Amino acid sequence: MPHMVDRDIIYEMQTKFWSFFDATSSHKLRHPQDMQFAFSFNYFVIGVKKSKNLFQLFDEIDTDNSGTLNDRELRTLTAVLYPLPISIKQIHAVEENLKNCSRRLENSYNYILNDTSTLPTISQPTEHFDDQMPLVTKDLFINCHEVWKLVNKTDDSKYQHEIMGDDDLAFKMIHNNVTTVLHQLDWVRKNRKKFICINDDLDHDRADSKTIRRVLRDFYESFFPIPSQFELEGKYKNRFLYKRDLEEWTRQSKLISDEVHFVVVLLVLVLAVYLFRKKALHCFKVIMRLFFMGRNARDLQNNLDI
């Protein structure tokens, strides 16, 4: 079954988990700890999140550019951090987190509440409904670990994706039971799907595995009776597992073919010279006589000119 993937995402995933992919590439046969290609890609697309930039987030929420967050902007922050619809309880939770952070920062390095000396001047000072709320500056926002945790929990996927059901997929695990396999394949025949995934869990040392393989071949040929232009004929088998091996074999074959052609042409020339040696010798003498006559004529002409 073909899998369409994004090359840049694959590169990012293999760069991040390079050791696991290198280990997988070293296995000649399937291994329990292999990085399965399609599963790894799909779960990476679903799971990887955008890198969170708290500085940028603060600037986006601080719409009045005051350098602090007022009550309206704190509600926007709550809407960003929690699933909608938000409740007053969640707003209070954000405020309590900021209060706790403010107290902790004050104790740790003399963080001064309500210090507006370094803030930009605005037409109206920031006021909060709760008198106990500190000034929510960028410094407080960035150094509040409770806010970090809430931001990291937000579902902000890096790559756009859609999780769908298995309505278009037929998945069957086959075992060494011919009757059961026939029932499974007949179900797939009846319930046509876009994708068919047959998982081979056969014990190929058993005699009935040959019968099941013939059943599977008949099943697939009932769906795809016309071979693809890229398929080998039934009497042929691909000798190569990797493209580089095929390219090396092609290069060696061309080299051998060129050498054989050179030897054949050389033998034909030698045979022709041997069979027609008298005529060849006569022609050679005639050519040499004409050559020397022409050179003598040029020498004579040069002497006359002098």
pLDDT digits (tens, 9 = 90+) for 83-139: 888 888 988 888 888 888 888 887 765 444 444 444 444 444 556 676 788 888 888
Using the 8-state DSSP alphabet, how is residue 137 labeled? B
Say if 147 falls within a structural domain: yes
223: closest CA among 199, 184, 196?
A: 196
49-60 pLDDT per residue, tens? 776 677 888 888
Q: Which residue has the higher pLDDT, 146 or 129?
A: 146
Q: What pLDDT shows up at residue 153?
A: 67
Say if 23 falls within a structural domain: yes
Question: What is the C-alpha separation between 68 and 128, in angstroms, rounded?
Answer: 11
59 & 141 share domain: yes
251 & 189 share domain: yes
Highest mean pLDDT: which range of 116-125, 137-146, 161-170, 209-218 = 209-218
97: closest CA among 144, 134, 130?
A: 144
Question: What is the C-alpha separation between 255 and 258, in angstroms, rounded?
Answer: 5
20 & 101 share domain: no
99: closest CA among 134, 137, 49?
A: 134
Type and span of the H or E element at 98: helix 88-109
61 & 102 share domain: yes
35 & 114 share domain: no
The pTM for the full model equals: 0.43
* Residue-range definition of the domain harbouring residue 74: 54-153
**Would you state the structure tokens that stand for residue 21, as one six-digit string?**
């992919």
- In 15-132, the DSSP E strands lie at none
110 & 172 share domain: no
Q: What pLDDT shows up at residue 108?
A: 64
59-78 pLDDT per residue, tens? 888 999 988 998 899 899 88
Say if 160 falls within a structural domain: no
98: closest CA among 136, 55, 130, 151?
A: 136
Say if 276 falls within a structural domain: no
Mean pLDDT of 262-272: 88
Question: What is the C-alpha separation between 205 and 76, in angstroms, rounded?
Answer: 65
Angle subtended by helix axes 7-16 and 37-47, to nearest 10: 90
Locus of tokens 């595995």: 209
pLDDT at 198 over 60: yes
195 & 237 share domain: yes
Percent of the chain with pLDDT over 70: 86
Please state the φ and ψ torsions of residue 157, each to the nearest 5 degrees. Answer: -65, 145
Q: What pLDDT shows up at residue 1?
A: 57
Mean pLDDT of 161-170: 82
Say if 290 falls within a structural domain: no
184 & 238 share domain: yes
194 & 251 share domain: yes
87 & 120 share domain: yes
65 & 42 share domain: no
Mean pLDDT of 163-179: 87
Burial of residue 147, with CB atoms counted within 10 A of its CB: 0-12 exposed, 13-18 middle, 19 or more buried: buried
Domain count, the chain: 3
Return all residues near 37 (Cβ < 8 A) that are at least 6 apart: 3
39 & 91 share domain: no
Say if 18 falls within a structural domain: yes
Q: What pLDDT shows up at residue 123?
A: 42
CB atoms within 10 A of CB 17: 15
Using the 8-state DSSP alphabet, how is residue 120 labeled? P
Say if 223 falls within a structural domain: yes
Say if 282 falls within a structural domain: no
